[in-house]
């Protein structure tokens, strides 16, 4: 095989043999054993063309000594350097300005295992040149295996210069781990496994964790972002590589900086391990978004669908390359605020930025949830048949009256935006008592729209009819919103109205879904059908019959008096 030069900026895997417990340091190889060991590669990135990993043997293991009575952990092994790797190892060690005792000149692999820290191994991997590969793996998934290996120490490289090479062990005779004798925070290390380090960043995954299918003002959502901590490999100017997770909430979402949590492989980081910031967005002469640093994020972030907040893990990434390839998880709650009432949907998406702010793209609208709203039209009779002003309503969810802020749109529709009284949930700016109301009043065209309510069941009760209309037949009805899943997001909400009072004064068109609520001036104007209608007609007939009988009786009595 042609000489393979490891790319600049390469980093070794977390499973390197820094401080390996080494027994004899002999120049002559013992029996290397059968070629039935393996190296499993994890965190293989999806790239085009597919990554290929190649293993070069730098040393053999022999004389395995178990730790006590353990069947899974080795206390030590003997290491013998592969003669084909001696010159390359010696040159790389000298190039790193490390003085190696003469006793190790013929067995540099033992010197490295006995004395090198993980930082020194990463530097060595950056400078090493080897030939004569012994195995390959062509990636076809996120995990793969190089097999047919003798037990020993290997140098594994990739054909993609953004994937770091690594010095790793093979498996060995069924043992799983080996003791370490340097100052590593780990007492043991895994045999035959390494996590590929790279700075190839796929789009991070982001999910909503509460299971909400729709939202209204006051809804509390939960979000989880997962990404991979990159290696500083594959970039000669790695000091210019950043690692920021950007989050773009839509209008109607509020995020609190104090509630953001960050984890690396399920271990929560201290707030000093990262910084929180914001971006501002302007539009250039080509009508493209331009992102710029908006300063630290310390309080509440009100989404607008363009600006982002970010978690900056650049310093952590550079100082903790042993964590490269591990999963970074960000969690936080978000609150639906009153601005959502003017939106049909809310969304939230995320992206990883590894360069300057202007390289961060806007992303796509993800995690889309519909914001609920329903409407009805108040009508009367005669000249008011197309719209009736002045009718008053209250709306409850369960037994709780809802509060609203009134607006009026261009066509005269009265729009009532729901506002919650629970500031801890909504994070809304305070709404003054003068602008907040529990009373819904129909406008001249009778059209009323309720916005900012999640799917669910609401009770609408008419509390007062306009002058000239009957107060004894005020209707009450329920409105139930059901989320209708869509093959392509976003989902929609279907609303169904059902009268509770059974006067027949609440009608919903089966085609358009339009709901009308009628007031009447006399009992004879009731648009009744079905059992309720029959009952009312019987009552009216009885009343008429009773009145006729009473008139006849009084007429007969009057005639008797006149005759007498």
Query: What string of H, E and C letters represents the secondary structure of 228-272?
Result: ECCCCCCCCCHHHCCCEEEEEECCCEEEEHHHCEEEECCEECCHH
The DSSP call for residue 278 is: E
Name the residue among 410, 409, 433, 408 with its Cα closest to residue 419: 433
Name the residue among 110, 98, 109 with its Cα closest to residue 24: 110
Name the residue among 483, 427, 457 with its Cα closest to residue 211: 483
Q: How far is CA 502 from CA 263, 389, 399, 428, 529, in A?
A: 57, 23, 21, 39, 9
User: What is the model's pLDDT at position 17?
Assistant: 41
User: What is the model's pLDDT at position 372?
Assistant: 97
User: CATH for 372-523?
Assistant: 2.60.40.10
Name the residue among 377, 378, 381 with its Cα closest to residue 520: 381
Where do the H-state alpha helices sit in 415-491? 423-426
In angstroms, the CA 159 to CA 199 distance is: 14
User: What is the model's pLDDT at position 333?
Assistant: 96
| Per-residue pLDDT tens over the stretch 280-315 | 887 777 776 677 888 999 999 999 988 899 999 999
Query: pTM of the predicted model, to two decimals?
Result: 0.68
Where do the H-state alpha helices sit in 220-376? 314-319
User: What is the model's pLDDT at position 423?
Assistant: 54
Ranges of beta strands (E only) in 398-435 are: 400-401, 403-408, 414-419
Ranges of beta strands (E only) in 355-491 are: 369-370, 373-379, 392-397, 400-401, 403-408, 414-419, 436-437, 440-441, 447-451, 457-464, 476-484
Q: Which residues pair with 279 in a beta bridge?
A: 293
546: three-class secondary structure by DSSP: helix
Q: Are 340 and 373 in contact (CB under 8 A)?
A: no
Q: Are 165 and 130 in contact (CB under 8 A)?
A: no
Enumerate residue ranges in the chain where pLDDT < 50: 1-19, 23-29, 183-186, 234-237, 358, 362, 424, 529-531, 534, 537, 558, 562
User: What is the model's pLDDT at position 435?
Assistant: 77
Q: Which long-range contacts link 143-146 to residues 24+ away (Cβ below 8 Å)?
A: 143/40, 143/41, 143/42, 143/44, 144/40, 144/41, 144/44, 144/53, 145/38, 145/39, 145/40, 145/41, 146/38, 146/39, 146/41, 146/53, 146/55
What's the full length of the chain, in residues? 564
In angstroms, the CA 519 to CA 504 distance is: 11
Please check whether the domain covering 205-368 is classified as CATH 2.60.40.740. Answer: yes
In angstroms, the CA 67 to CA 75 distance is: 4
- Containing H/E element for 351? strand 348-353
User: What is the model's pLDDT at position 552?
Assistant: 54
Q: Which residue has the tokens 């790797």?
A: 85
Name the residue among 172, 179, 193 with its Cα closest to residue 19: 179
| Per-residue pLDDT tens over the stretch 49-65 | 788 999 999 999 999 99
In the chain, % helix, strand, coil (3-state, to 5) comes to: 20, 40, 45
**Which token pair is 507?**
């009608």
In angstroms, the CA 34 to CA 49 distance is: 33
User: What is the model's pLDDT at position 238?
Assistant: 52
**Which token pair is 281?**
């967005």
């Amino acid at each position: 095989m042609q000489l393979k030069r490891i790319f600049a900026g390469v980093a070794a895997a977390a499973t390197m043999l820094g401080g390996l417990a080494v027994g004899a340091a002999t120049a002559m190889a013992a029996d290397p054993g059968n070629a039935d060991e393996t190296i499993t590669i994890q965190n293989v990135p999806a790239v085009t063309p597919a990554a290929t990993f190649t293993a070069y043997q730098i040393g053999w293991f022999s004389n395995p000594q178990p730790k006590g009575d353990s069947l899974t952990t080795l206390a030590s092994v003997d290491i013998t350097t592969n003669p084909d790797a001696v010159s390359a190892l010696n040159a790389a060690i000298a190039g790193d300005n490390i003085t190696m005792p003469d006793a190790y000149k013929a067995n540099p692999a033992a010197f490295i295992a006995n004395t090198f820290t993980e930082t020194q191994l990463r530097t060595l991997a950056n400078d090493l040149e080897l030939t004569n590969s012994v195995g390959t793996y062509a990636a076809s998934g996120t995990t793969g295996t190089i097999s047919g290996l003798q037990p020993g120490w290997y140098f594994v490289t990739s054909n993609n210069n953004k994937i770091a090479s690594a010095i790793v062990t093979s498996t060995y005779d069924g043992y799983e781990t080996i003791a370490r004798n340097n100052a590593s925070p780990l007492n043991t290390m895994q045999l035959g496994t390494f996590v590929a380090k790279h700075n190839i960043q796929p789009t991070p995954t982001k999910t909503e964790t509460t299971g909400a299918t729709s939202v209204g003002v006051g809804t509390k959502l939960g979000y989880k972002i997962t990404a991979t901590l990159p290696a500083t490999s594959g970039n000669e100017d790695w000091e210019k590589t950043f690692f920021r997770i950007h989050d773009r909430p839509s209008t109607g979402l509020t995020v609190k900086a104090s509630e953001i949590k960050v984890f690396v492989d399920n271990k929560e980081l201290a707030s000093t391990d990262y910084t929180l910031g914001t971006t501002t967005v302007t539009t250039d002469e080509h009508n493209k978004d331009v992102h710029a640093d908006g300063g630290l994020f310390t309080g509440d972030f009100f989404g607008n669908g363009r600006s982002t907040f970010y978690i900056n893990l650049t310093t952590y990434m550079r100082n903790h390359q042993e964590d490269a390839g591990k999963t970074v998880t960000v969690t936080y709650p978000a609150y639906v605020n009153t601005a959502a009432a003017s939106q049909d949907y809310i969304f939230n998406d995320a992206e990883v930025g590894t360069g300057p702010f202007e390289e961060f793209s806007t992303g796509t609208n993800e995690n889309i949830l519909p914001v609920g709203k329903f409407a009805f039209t108040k009508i009367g009779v005669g000249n008011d048949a197309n719209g009736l002003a002045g009718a008053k309503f209250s709306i409850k969810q369960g037994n709780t009256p809802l509060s609203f802020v009134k607006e009026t749109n261009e066509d005269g529709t009265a729009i009532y935006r729901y506002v919650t009284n629970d500031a801890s949930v909504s994070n809304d700016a305070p709404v003054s008592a003068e602008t907040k109301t529990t009373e819904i009043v129909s406008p001249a065209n009778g059209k009323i729209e309720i916005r900012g309510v999640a799917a669910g069941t609401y009770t609408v009760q008419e509390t007062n009819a306009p002058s000239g209309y009957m107060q004894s037949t005020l209707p009450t009805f329920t409105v139930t919103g059901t989320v209708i899943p869509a093959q392509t997001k976003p989902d929609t909400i279907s609303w169904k109205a059902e009268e509770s009072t059974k006067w027949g004064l609440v009608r919903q068109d089966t085609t358009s879904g339009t709901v009308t609520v009628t007031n009447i001036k006399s009992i004879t104007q009731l648009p009744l059908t079905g059992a309720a209608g029959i009952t009312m007609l019987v009552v009216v007939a009885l009343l008429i019959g009773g009145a006729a009988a009473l008139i006849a009786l009084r007429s007969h009595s009057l005639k008797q008096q006149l005759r007498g």
